[in-house]
Amino acid sequence: MTTASPESGTNAAIPDAATQIDIYRRMSLISQNDEAARKTVKSGRLMMPYYSPKGQEVIPSAVSVNLNDDDRICTIYRGTHDMLAKGVPLRDLWAEMAGRVTGTCKGKGGPMHVTHPASGAILTTGIVGSSMPIANGLAWAAKLSGSKRVTVAYFGDAASNIGAFHESLNLASVWKLPVVFICQNNLFGEHTRFENSTSVDQISKRAVAYGMPGVTVNGNDPFEMYAAAHAAINRARDGEGPTLIEAMTFRFYGHVFGDDDHYMTKEEKAAALAKDPLPLFRARLIADGVATEATLAELDADIRAQIEDAIQFALSSEMPPLEELTRDVYAEAGAA
Amino acid sequence: MSVETKKLNFIQAINQALVQAMDADPTILVLGEDIADREGGGVVGVTKGLSTRFGDDRVKSTPISEQAIIGAAIGAAIDGYKPVAEIMLMNFTTVCMDMIVNHAAKLRYMSGGQTTVPIVIRMMTGAGISSGGQHSDFLEAWFAHTPGLKVVAPSNPADAKGLMLSCIADPDPCIFIETSRAYGVAGDVPVDATPIPLGKARLAREGADVTLISYAEMVTRCLTAAAELEKDGISAEVVDLRTISPWDEEAVLASVRKTGRAVIVHEAVRTFGVGAEIAAILHEKLFRELKAPVGRLGAPFTPVPFAGNLEQAFLVQPGAIVEAARATMAAN
Ligand SMILES: Cc1ncc(C[n+]2csc(CCOP(=O)(O)OP(=O)(O)O)c2C)c(N)n1
């Protein structure tokens, strides 16, 4: 872990055995779900824009085990990993991706606009950089109401070049908001390389400009990610204000489903795939005696069955009735 | 039963609405640049006294960060608060259109009704105060064209108060437009907190021959024109929309059905303006009853100029309204 501010990065917390397995469970869920999503789109069974988070499983998994159910997340189009890690139910998520009435948003949001308040997933946005200003508002509400809720804003590395990022970090710092900004630096913004679009070699350095701690961590290492999230979330909960975490990672399947990766070198992609965080962590849990192969295999199989069930559920669900077209534009008369 | 009133200008009337609403409901928050008393209570003083009275938690001066302002308002609104955000001048909404149009306006719909954004976005604007091209635009058509937003533009202090109270109480995001050049104009304002329903027009003047349809400060100009027309024996009815979106189709149609003639008057450029929408509906629904084509007055298709003479030429003047009404009368 490299620290851009002297205030953080000390006393690294270590997840206990149960938490480690919990992190693995979430990672397995994300990874298997991603595989299922790519397959389902490829087979033509479901048409949707799909932004694979494969390779980035560790980040929200290690973050979410530090969050309570009523803590909030704001995420982006590439966010199924963030949602699943936070607890958005598979059936509701798949039905939303399929545009069915049983989805989180009655099929009216779609994969880029999933909202599921019960699990704390309040916003999924398709506009680069816009998760942060709204996360601030949720954090402001928590602070005003005296609740201990924390809000996490997820975004990509390219989003840190959008004005909203800078406005949001400044405001959060000035208002000392209970918010954690988590940049998932997968080294690309669409097809543009990080170094060709960003003025600093570490986004965490930008935290200095906003008077908050900023750390760059290996976002593919569950322990490093856990420790950084633990510190930042506790800091937010204790009323000490925001933190910027830059989690280094890599996206395995390009920007959007169907992307041919022409802008990556074969070598860098191969090197990243060789370090796939999921099998590595799985092997580590077994080697450390935290879990047995059999336990993890059972856990994986259980997840696989749940995903299959969710896909069946989604594809066999009804489309939204046509009255939904014009509903929810405004509050229904008399509803408020 | 007479309503107790007091002479207040727009600034005082909106301030009073905020005070009364905040007194009644602790979830109402106010945020914006320079709005707290430490910073002077707003550039023209609309929010004066609020931070002293309600505290710095509920009344927050912000950095110059329009996206962060609207984002904070949206997030707090999702979690149960009712923020009133000030974007100092309407032109600065261009900096936070993403937050307004992609988020505030759409979150109710995209979430299937699960998250809602009951915010008010206040802003001032208008030509005639020598501010030039980037501080004077009426952009209401942009917002009226966006499903999910409500757009409100009061023409007098009493309406400013009553409409502000309704915007605050409304469960959806409201754009509240204040005309700067009218800020100092005083009128009788109900002392009590009396909301004026959104989406309902006001019959500002009764008449029989032609309907002038307008909103914001242009209503005053229509009333001046109507007085002038009276001298020619032309009886003009003036309908003040109060709310631009949703506009009160029923009231407008009723008036035009009665007079058979209509002229729509607004400050924004005429091209693709709100007047086009209203005129189209009038033609669609009243084609056979109209005695003349519906007229439309707005600014020429230019940015707002600085030079005083050009700026006045940019603004629709009462004389132009009189002419348009006369032309409508002549077109038989
Ligand atoms: C404001 C805005 N500009 C451009 C786009 C198109 N776009 C979608 S994703 C993307 C790249 C964003 O990269 P990054 O923030 O690093 O996130 P990642 O996709 O790598 O997770 C772009 C340019 C957009 N959605 N929003």
pLDDT in tens, B135-164: 999 999 999 999 999 999 999 999 999 999
3-state secondary structure chain A: CEECCCCCCCCCCCCCHHHHHHHHHHHHHHHHHHHHHHHHHHCCCCCCCCCCCCCCCHHHHHHHCCCCCCCEEEEECCCHHHHHHHCCCHHHHHHHHCCCCCCCCCCCCCCCCCCEHHHCEEEEECCCCCHHHHHHHHHHHHHHHCCCCCEEEEEECHHHHCHHHHHHHHHHHHCCCCEEEEEEECCEECCEEHHHHCCCCCHHHHHHHCCCCEEEEECCCHHHHHHHHHHHHHHHHCCCCCEEEEEECCCCCCCCCCCCCCCCCHHHHHHHHHCCHHHHHHHHHHHCCCCCHHHHHHHHHHHHHHHHHHHHHHHHCCCCCHHHHHCCCCCCCCCC
Percentage of the residues of chain A whose pLDDT score is greater than 70: 96
What backbone torsions phi and psi does residue A301 show, to the nearest 5 degrees? -65, -40
Say which residues have a Cβ less than 8 Å from residue A128's Cβ, sequence separation at least 6.
A76, A155, A156, A158, A159, A162, A189
- In the predicted model, what is the mean pLDDT of residues A283-304? 98
- In the predicted model, what is the mean pLDDT of residues B166-180? 98
Q: B270 with B299: CB under 8 angstroms?
A: yes
User: pLDDT (tens digit, 9 = 90+) per residue, A106-154?
Assistant: 999 999 999 999 999 999 999 999 999 999 999 999 999 999 999 999 9
| C-beta of A164 in contact with ligand 1 (< 6 A) | no
Whole-angstrom Cα distance, residue A321 to residue B2?
50
Q: Please give the pLDDT value at position A1.
A: 54
Confidence of residue A5 (pLDDT cuts 50, 70, 90): very low
Whole-angstrom Cα distance, residue A3 to residue A9?
6
Q: Please give the pLDDT value at position B1.
A: 63
Which of A56, A154, A190 gets mutated to test ligand 1 (max ligand atoms within 8 A of its CB)?
A190
- Residue A285 in this model has a pLDDT that exceeds 80: yes
A189 C-alpha vs ligand 1 centroid, how far in Å? 6
Selected residue with higher pLDDT from B228 and B331: B228
- Residue A8 in this model has a pLDDT that exceeds 60: no
Query: CB-based contact (8 Å) between A287 and chain B?
Result: no
Which residue in this structure is represented by tokens 């109270």? Answer: B165
- In the predicted model, what is the mean pLDDT of residues A195-207? 97
A274 C-alpha vs ligand 1 centroid, how far in Å? 26
Q: Please give the pLDDT value at position A169.
A: 98
Query: CB-based contact (8 Å) between A333 and chain B?
Result: no
Q: For residue A59, which of A234, A203, A186 has the smallest C-alpha distance? A: A186
CB atoms near residue A313 (< 10 Å): 17
Confidence of residue A9 (pLDDT cuts 50, 70, 90): very low
- Is the peptide bond between B246 and the residue preceding it cis, with omega within 30 degrees of 0? yes
User: pLDDT (tens digit, 9 = 90+) per residue, B5-17?
Assistant: 999 999 999 999 9
- A144 CB neighbours in chain B (<8 A) are 29, 57-58, 76, 81
Q: Which A residues, 71 through 100, put their C-beta within 8 Å of a C-beta on chain B?
A: 72, 74
Q: Please give the pLDDT value at position A260.
A: 86
CA distance B106 to chain A (A): 7
| C-beta of A191 in contact with ligand 1 (< 6 A) | no
Q: Please give the pLDDT value at position A146.
A: 97
- Residue B38 in this model has a pLDDT that exceeds 60: yes
| C-beta of A159 in contact with ligand 1 (< 6 A) | yes
Whole-angstrom Cα distance, residue B179 to residue B167?
17
- A135 CB neighbours in chain B (<8 A) are 71, 75
B65 C-alpha vs ligand 1 centroid, how far in Å? 21
- B113 CB neighbours in chain A (<8 A) are 106, 327-328
The dihedral region occupied by B141, where left means phi > 0, alpha psi between -120 and 50, and beta the remainder, is alpha
From B81, B114, B172, residue closest to A105, measured CB to CB: B114
- Residue A335 in this model has a pLDDT that exceeds 80: no
Residue of chain B minimizing CA distance to A107: B112
Cα–Cα separations (whole angstroms), residue B21 to A28, B62, B166, B193, B244: 50, 21, 10, 8, 23
DSSP-derived pairing of the beta strands A151-156 and A179-185:
parallel
- A125 CB neighbours in chain B (<8 A) are 102-103
Question: Ligand 1: which atom is nearest the Cα of residue A51?
Answer: 19
Question: Ligand 1: which atom is nearest the Cα of residue A56?
Answer: 21
The DSSP call for residue B56 is T
Whole-angstrom Cα distance, residue B21 to residue B30?
11
- In the predicted model, what is the mean pLDDT of residues B28-45? 97
Q: A253 with A40: CB under 8 angstroms?
A: no
CB contact under 8 A, A137 and B73: yes
In the predicted model, what is the mean pLDDT of chain B? 97
- A105 CB neighbours in chain B (<8 A) are 110-112, 114
Say which residues have a Cβ less than 8 Å from residue B28's Cβ, sequence separation at least 6.
B18, B21, B22, B58, B81, B82, B83, B84, B168
Percentage of the residues of chain A whose pLDDT score is greater than 90: 94
A198 C-alpha vs ligand 1 centroid, how far in Å? 14
Helix axis angle, B157-169 to B10-24, nearest 10°:
30
| C-beta of A186 in contact with ligand 1 (< 6 A) | yes
Catalytic residue among B103, B135, B145, B283: B135
Residue of chain A minimizing CA distance to B111: A105
Task: Tell me the ipTM for this assembly.
Answer: 0.94
B98 C-alpha vs ligand 1 centroid, how far in Å? 14
- Residue B288 in this model has a pLDDT that exceeds 50: yes
Q: For residue B140, which of B85, B219, B216, B196 has the smallest C-alpha distance? A: B216
Q: For residue A143, which of B81, B197, B235, B222 has the smallest C-alpha distance? A: B81
Residue of chain B minimizing CA distance to A109: B110
CB contact under 8 A, A137 and B76: yes
Which residue in this structure is represented by tokens 């709204």? Answer: A134
First to last CA, chain A: 49
Whole-angstrom Cα distance, residue B288 to residue B187?
40
Whole-angstrom Cα distance, residue B11 to residue B46?
5
Q: Please give the pLDDT value at position B98.
A: 98
CB contact under 8 A, B63 and A170: yes
Whole-angstrom Cα distance, residue B105 to residue B173?
7
- DSSP, collapsed to helix, strand or coil, labels residue B83 as strand
Note the helical H segments in chain B: 10-24, 50-54, 66-78, 97, 107-110, 140-144, 157-169, 218-231, 249-259, 274-286, 308-314, 318-330
B283 is catalytic: no
Cα angle, residue B239 at apex, residues B244 and B87 outer, rounded to 5°: 30
Q: A50 with A75: CB under 8 angstroms?
A: no
Cross-strand bridge partners of residue B85: B31, B121
Which residue in this structure is represented by tokens 């802003």? Answer: B123
From B65, B110, B115, residue closest to A171, measured CB to CB: B65
